[in-house]
């Protein structure tokens, strides 16, 4: 199930980026909810929030390692196959990593466009990674709490 979620996230991310590229010019911004949420096209050569600009090789290597760890985890445990939320979390993270990795390899930067004005511009892949990581963290903490009880 995690692989299905990852594929869905990857295609949703790439489709949204394609649509943005077809309708916006670099740094162009269209308000969806004025002064709250805009669609703003930016090219991010760095990591989250544009930090570590031009470190593309490091990000590609880190993404490949993370993909390997996630795939190993998905395929290595029968118990985890039955945990819906664990699979959801891994699928979200894997799909998000794949979406941004694709951009980095083929474009040399990541396409970002979701702009809430109080936060750096991001994309669907970033959202999936964040939600998946938060869910994974919650599941790990919950498991630790149950083990101590």
* Residue 112 annotated among the catalytic residues of the structure: yes
Q: What's the pTM value of the predicted model, to 2 decimals?
A: 0.90
pLDDT of residue 61: 93
Looking at the domain assignment, is residue 148 inside a domain? no
Looking at the domain assignment, is residue 26 inside a domain? no
pLDDT of residue 78: 61
**Average pLDDT of 15-34?**
97
pLDDT of residue 148: 67
- Owning domain of residue 45: 2-20+41-143
What is the total count of domains within the chain? 1
Three-state DSSP state, 113: strand
Looking at the domain assignment, is residue 149 inside a domain? no
Looking at the domain assignment, is residue 110 inside a domain? yes
pLDDT of residue 48: 62
Looking at the domain assignment, is residue 30 inside a domain? no
Out of 13, 103, 115, 126, which one is annotated catalytic? Answer: 126
Total residues found in the chain within this entry = 149
* Residue 126 annotated among the catalytic residues of the structure: yes
Out of 103, 112, 115, 144, which one is annotated catalytic? Answer: 112
Cβ atoms of 124 and 13 within 8 Å: the answer is: yes
Tens digits of residue pLDDT in 40-63 = 999 998 766 556 666 788 899 999
């Amino acid at each position: 199930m995690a692989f299905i979620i990852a594929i869905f996230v990857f295609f949703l991310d790439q489709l949204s980026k394609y649509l943005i590229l077809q309708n916006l010019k670099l740094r162009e911004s269209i308000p969806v909810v004025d002064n709250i949420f805009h669609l703003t096209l930016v090219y991010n050569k760095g990591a989250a929030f544009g930090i570590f600009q031009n470190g593309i090789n490091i990000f590609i290597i880190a993404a490949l390692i993370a993909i390997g760890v996630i795939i190993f985890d998905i395929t290595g445990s029968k118990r985890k196959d039955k945990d819906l939320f664990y699979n959801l979390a891994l699928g979200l993270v894997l799909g998000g990593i794949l979406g941004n990795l694709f951009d980095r390899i083929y474009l040399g930067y990541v396409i970002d466009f979701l702009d809430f004005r109080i936060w750096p511009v991001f994309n669907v892949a970033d959202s999936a990674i964040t939600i998946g990581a938060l869910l994974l963290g919650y599941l790990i903490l919950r498991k630790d709490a149950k083990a101590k009880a």
